[in-house]
Amino acid sequence: MTRVIRKVLVANRGEIAVRVIRTCAELGIATVAVYSAADRDSAAVRLADEAVQIGPPAAKRSYLYIPAVIEAARATGADAIHPGYGFLSENPDFAEVCEAEGLIFIGAPADVMTRLGDKSTARALMADAGLPLLPGSRDPIANVEAARALADEIGYPVIVKAVAGGGGRGMRVVRDGAEFAAAWQQTRATAAAVFGDGRLYLERYLESARHVEAQILADTHGTVVHLGLRDCSLQRRHQKLVEESPAPGLSAELAEDIGAAAVRGCRAAGYVGAGTVEFLLAPDGSFYFMEVNCRLQVEHPVTEMVTGIDLVAEQLRIAAGEPLTLGAGVRPAGVAIECRVNAEDPRRDFAPAPGTLGECLLPGGQFVRVDTHVHTGYAVPPHYDSLLAKVVVWAPDRATAIARMRRALAETRLRGAGVATTTEFLHDVLDHPRFRDATHDTALIGTLSGTAPTREALQPS
């Protein structure tokens, strides 16, 4: 059964709120922006048809406060809520409240998020669906003694992960038995504090791995398709800095095997909506399931650039009950690269560096896309994620895409009192020979100069 979506409340902020508002405008759908006191003058507030302040700067009292979001939807007559990414986007309780209030939640069903948000349950489900897993625990481990015994059995290094973890938090690599107990207790304390769930599981840590992921779309009529792969291996503290599509250096057969595994796993989970299945890829070409993100990813623009498909528009159509019309033959064309420009100082272990932008010059030109919410005079708030802009380029081949991204980053000027950005660091990473020849992996940034890469450290030896 199809449902008509006439007005969407965007339960988020920053560039993703702007992103959703723009697609809604193109589809003739009215929008409502919600904002905290810190975001009163934000681009989303200016671009939406209506705007409602929902609380003070603290996210727990605004963007994460479900009663305020629901009341804003009621007051404005919204019939659907798009959660963006982060905040409430993977909160099954929020999805259930939306449905109970007669609001269409533009995302995965609550029961699916519950199953896949629990990393241990997700691993078991994917194992039953035939997806390959790294050696480790199928279920949460009861105590440190049992975990230590399993670590000794599967061999070090291992990675301890929070069952409810995400966003690069709630995980710790352990390289020998002497440090295991302390790492276990520290990860459990972090998981309990950050996620309200101290349960942990364990798996073998794969050295020199690449991080690849498949973009999935699934409708309510049983159709599940993948839109190709992204490589997200360039990370700091398990959080991505550079993404590209298609994942370079993979044979067509391997890429299709990974995509087919992602589709198979989502079918088994009863997935609906836009989602991402993440894998670790070993140097020998073997790949292993990591997790499913039940939302739109930050890096979704690279998939849009190579496929020509508006993923937010597809989310809206799926949420309305419409069938997918893409078919199984989606074939990406060319190469797209995304660089995240964050208000962080790479010379201080990527410490947040908020301030006021006295200069805001963003790149342009052919096949360059910038997703941002900032402008000259914008006060970068210290309360939220440090992302300022996503610079995305497309080209017919990877070498041209890298050259275009170098040019785009060279044009980028985001400067101001107290503000440091990752722009120069990203430019240098693109010049590194391991990125150029697509032999980079998840350890590259961390091993270049320890925890605080510098310009000199990025030069080839």
In the residue annotation, 295 being an active-site residue is answered as: yes
Q: Output the DSSP codes for 136-187.
A: B-SS--SSHHHHHHHHHHH-SSEEEEEEEEETTEEEEEE-SGGGHHHHHHHH
Q: Output the DSSP codes for 258-271.
A: HHHHHHHHHHHHT-
User: What token pair was written down for 174?
Assistant: 């352990």
How far, in Å, CA of 296 to CA of 247, rounded? 18
Which is it for the CA torsion 289, 290, 295, 297, positive or negative? Answer: negative
| 379 secondary structure, DSSP code | B
Q: Rounded to the nearest 5 degrees, what angle is found at the Cα of 382, between the Cα atoms of 48 and 450? A: 125
Q: List the catalytic residue out of 19, 123, 295, 340.
A: 295
- Strands (E) located in 286-376: 287-293, 335-342, 344-345, 351-352, 356-361, 368-372
| 322 secondary structure, DSSP code | P
User: What token pair was written down for 25?
Assistant: 């405008």
Q: Residue 98, SS3? A: helix
Q: Residue 192: exposed, middle, or buried by beta-carbon count in 10 A (0-12, 13-18, 19+)?
A: middle
Region for 112 from its dihedrals, namely left if φ exceeds 0, alpha if ψ lies in -120 to 50, beta otherwise: alpha
| Run of H or E residues at 244 | strand 239-245
How far, in Å, CA of 377 to CA of 358, rounded? 6
DSSP lists the bridge partners of residue 379 as: 356
How far, in Å, CA of 293 to CA of 274, rounded? 9
Q: Which residues are catalytic?
A: 295
